Amino acid sequence: MDHVIELNELRDAVQKAFPADKLAAPRDAAWSLVAEQGWLMIGLPEDQGGLGLGRDAAVAIHFELGRVLAAAPLIPALLALEGIAASTSLADREGWIERICGGEYVPLNMLPGTVEDVGGTLSGRLSGFFEADMADHVLAGIAGQYLLIPTDAPGVSLIKRDLWDESRSLFDIELTGYRPDPALLVAEGETVKALHDRISPLAQLAIAADSLGGANAALEMTVEYLKTRRQFDRPIAMFQALKHRCADLKTHIAAAEALLWQRAGQLDASIADLGVAKALANECYMSTTEEAIQLHGGIGLTNEHNCHLFMKRAMLNAQLSGGGDHWREAAGRQALAQYAAA
């Protein structure tokens, strides 16, 4: 229970720094605040200068940041930091950790890409770097290696991709004959899988947390609207047809959230266990925001209203770190193997 109290305190701290009435607060200031609060250090072991908190601490923060549609890209930063901290090959690893914990932004790519290695130079396109315009370096996970790439190096160009989701910005990186710096190699060969296996669970938990934080906020916003909007001489929240839809959303969110917190604490949960929990969270976020627009009526279709911001973030989240179909199938195969043929 002490642990729960600790998590609640952390959630309170995030709510204080990012109040619920300021959605999608400007990115740069939000990022400085994230760094000031020390949230980049939460998962890092104490002997590496971090706070050494369990992975549910990060879940708590991502959840609260999801509630306010945070533009600050804590998820890709923490994933990159996890990889860098575990690197056995990176020169000046300690220096990198220190700079990142101090607020230097280094994101990991959250989408796959294709890159060709021709005689030691790399060409191709990498996708899924959030807010890469803030970054001097990115961590790229590409087939066979993880490496840090300076965004201003020769043969590296940053391409901003226009997103429906207005709460975040996303970049591709185009490599044309880029010659990697051996001093910036984070992992290659056998260690790549080990690094991936450390990062991937955290990615699933983080996106699930962001999604369920957002789903909760979208539902609260919708319920609040129904309670104040009057038609037929009464608040429309009185209509049972609307009540039941909200109750069902609340029920789905609560169940997906219970699973998320449980899996965050289960260090032996498999990647399929985490991926399918994320898929469930994505599904909740999408269905809640889909309903949110419908329940708001016409106002939900206007750009001034916040409904669409949640919906667009929900749709993008569902594409990150493996889609729902992939994880549902993986979970199905795992369960089938669990109950081996008699």
Contacts with another protein by CB under 8 A lie at 1, 223, 226-227, 234-235, 237-238, 240, 242-244, 246-248, 250-251, 254-256, 258-259, 261-262, 265, 272-273, 276-277, 279-280, 325, 327-336, 338-339, 341-342
DSSP letters, 98-127, are HHHHTT---PBP-S--EEEEETTEEEEEEE
Cβ at position 205, least distance to another protein in Å: 14
In the bound state with another protein, the residue whose beta carbon lies nearer, of 165 and 257, is: 257
In the bound state with another protein, the residue whose beta carbon lies nearer, of 118 and 341, is: 341
Pick the closest to residue 252 from 287, 221, 224, 227 (CA basis).
287
Cβ at position 68, least distance to another protein in Å: 20
Q: Is 116 exposed, middle or buried (0-12, 13-18, 19+ CB in 10 A)?
A: exposed
In the bound state with another protein, the residue whose beta carbon lies nearer, of 88 and 251, is: 251
Q: In the chain, where do the E strands start and end?
A: 114-118, 121-130, 137-142, 145-150, 156-161, 170-178, 185-188, 230-231, 234-235
Q: In 192-244, where do the E strands start and end?
A: 230-231, 234-235
Cβ at position 311, least distance to another protein in Å: 20
Cβ at position 334, least distance to another protein in Å: 8
Degrees to nearest 5, angle at CA 7 with 212 and 26: 55
Cβ at position 103, least distance to another protein in Å: 35
In the bound state with another protein, the residue whose beta carbon lies nearer, of 150 and 235, is: 235
In the bound state with another protein, the residue whose beta carbon lies nearer, of 149 and 276, is: 276
In the bound state with another protein, the residue whose beta carbon lies nearer, of 231 and 240, is: 240
Cβ at position 259, least distance to another protein in Å: 4
In the bound state with another protein, the residue whose beta carbon lies nearer, of 114 and 228, is: 228
DSSP letters, 242-293, are HHHHHHHHHHHHHHHHHHHHHHHH-TT--HHHHHHHHHHHHHHHHHHHHHHH
Query: What is the C-alpha to C-alpha distance for residues 302 and 75, in angstroms, rounded to an integer?
Result: 29
């669990």: which residue's tokens?
338
Cβ at position 56, least distance to another protein in Å: 13
